[in-house]
Structure formats: structure tokens, C-alpha cells
């Protein structure tokens, strides 16, 4: 690797692998509330390709979480890139795992110093720093909002930023995720995970300072 953190030997260099993560939740109910909505699918985008995870059946959220945890445990240490994951994806996954009595490699730490826009996830005070086994977390939304919004008058949503830099996101009505077939849902969640990975890769290694400590 081109460099490493002084405290832990964690790789910070041009060759650091970036893994994009995105989740989709049950929109037949309030899909923004982890107290009532399950995670229905997760995508992990790696430099080698995208993997979309479903449980063994529509109600197998436990199997979905365990498959994701196992997948991350087996990957070389890198950066887990999300988009607004400090506020949504990671605490949502943590809440759902806790409700099932599961303990995996995800570790979160609430940080009141992280600025955010909008309401926090239901049941949470704000944003978190995280890691999952040997992977540090980087919220791509925070990275791009830090400078892009000051330069261009655009939303810093994932799809808006992707279009600005010439990428083409898969778009659906997020309030109707439950109406999508498995193939459509897989395309959508993989697209978001892949976009998060590519957008962070394009700013790497300068973006390393935005990784969670």
C-alpha cells in the first residue's frame, strides 16, 4: 500500500479497496423506521463486481444479515462507502441485527460533531461513525457535500451527484420498492452501491481523511 494509518496499520493509499454498500427496506410499511421495517435486500459493490443479497425467502432477514456479515468478514480490509450511511444504512442495520439478537462485525459510535441535514433515523439522535470488521466507513454524502454544494447549486443526493459527473443511475420510485420484482430490485440496489463506490474511488486517496476513525 502507498501509506497506512499511524495508529493501527490500516491501509490508506491509492490501492485501498473501496466497497460500496446500500440497503433497501420494506416499503409496505414505514421503510424509514427500523422498529417496524425489515431490510429486504443489500448490495455490496467491490472492484471485482456487485453482489446482491436476499434472504432465503421474503421473511429471512436473519439470513440476509448473516450473509452480509460473512461476506464482509472475508474481504481484505478496506473502506466501506455508503451514501448517508452514517445516518441511515449503518444504524438501520445495527437496529435490525439487535432485534434479532445477532452480533456481527458492525460497530457504531455516535458522534454529535457530524453535521447533517434533515431528521435523524427514527430512534436515533443523529449520525454515527462506524467500522465493520477491518473496514472503516466513509459516508460519501458528507464527502461531496463538503465542497460540491459550495461550488455547484445541486442537491448532494446520490443520483444528483452521479448525474453531475456523468454517471447514469438506475431510478425507481423508492416509496414503492415493494412492487419491484427481484431482478428490478437487484438492479436498483446494486446501482446505488456501485455509484457510492465509484464516487468515493474518484476522490481517493484524498478522501481518506473523511474515513471514520
Residue 73 φ then ψ, to 5°: -65, -30
- Residue 11: the pLDDT is 57
User: How far apart are alpha carbons 104 and 70 in whole angstroms?
Assistant: 9
- Residue 208: the pLDDT is 93
Average pLDDT per consecutive 10 residues, the chain (213 residues; last block may be shorter):
38 82 95 96 97 88 97 97 97 97 97 88 97 97 85 84 95 90 96 98 94 91
Bridge partners of residue 25, in order along the sequence: 39
- Residue 98: the pLDDT is 97
User: How far apart are alpha carbons 204 and 192 in whole angstroms?
Assistant: 19
Residue 182 · residue 4 · CB < 8 Å: no
Residue 35 φ then ψ, to 5°: -75, -20
Residue 71 · residue 133 · CB < 8 Å: no
Burial 104-138 (b: 16+ CB within 10 A, else e): bebebeeeeeeeeeeeebeebebbbbbbbebbbbb
Determine how many CB atoms are found less than 10 A away from the CB of residue 172: 17
- Residue 144: the pLDDT is 93
Among 77, 25, 18, 79, which Cα is nearest to 50's? 18
- Residue 115: the pLDDT is 83
Residue 72 · residue 132 · CB < 8 Å: yes
pTM for this structure?
0.92
Domains and CATH numbers, the chain: 18-108+128-203 (3.30.420.10)
- Residue 174: the pLDDT is 84
Amino acid at each position: 500500500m502507498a501509506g497506512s494509518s499511524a495508529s493501527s496499520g490500516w491501509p490508506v493509499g491509492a490501492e485501498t479497496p473501496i466497497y460500496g454498500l446500500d440497503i433497501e427496506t420494506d416499503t409496505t410499511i414505514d421503510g424509514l423506521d427500523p422498529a417496524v421495517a425489515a431490510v429486504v435486500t443489500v448490495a455490496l459493490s467491490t472492484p471485482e463486481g456487485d453482489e446482491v443479497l436476499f434472504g432465503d425467502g421474503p421473511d429471512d432477514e436473519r439470513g440476509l444479515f448473516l450473509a452480509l456479515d460473512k461476506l464482509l468478514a472475508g474481504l481484505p480490509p478496506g473502506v466501506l462507502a455508503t451514501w448517508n450511511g452514517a445516518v441511515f444504512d449503518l444504524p438501520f442495520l445495527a437496529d435490525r441485527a439487535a432485534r434479532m439478537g445477532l452480533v456481527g462485525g458492525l460497530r457504531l459510535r455516535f458522534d454529535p460533531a457530524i453535521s447533517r441535514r434533515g431528521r435523524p433515523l427514527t430512534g436515533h439522535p443523529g449520525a454515527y461513525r462506524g467500522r465493520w470488521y477491518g473496514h472503516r466507513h466513509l459516508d460519501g454524502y458528507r464527502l461531496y457535500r463538503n465542497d460540491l454544494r459550495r461550488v455547484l447549486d445541486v442537491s448532494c443526493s446520490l443520483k444528483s451527484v452521479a448525474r453531475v459527473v456523468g454517471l447514469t443511475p438506475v431510478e425507481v420510485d423508492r416509496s414503492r420498492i415493494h412492487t419491484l420484482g427481484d431482478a428490478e430490485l437487484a438492479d436498483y440496489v446494486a446501482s446505488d452501491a456501485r455509484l457510492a463506490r465509484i464516487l468515493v474511488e474518484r476522490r481517493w486517496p484524498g478522501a481518506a481523511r473523511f474515513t471514520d476513525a
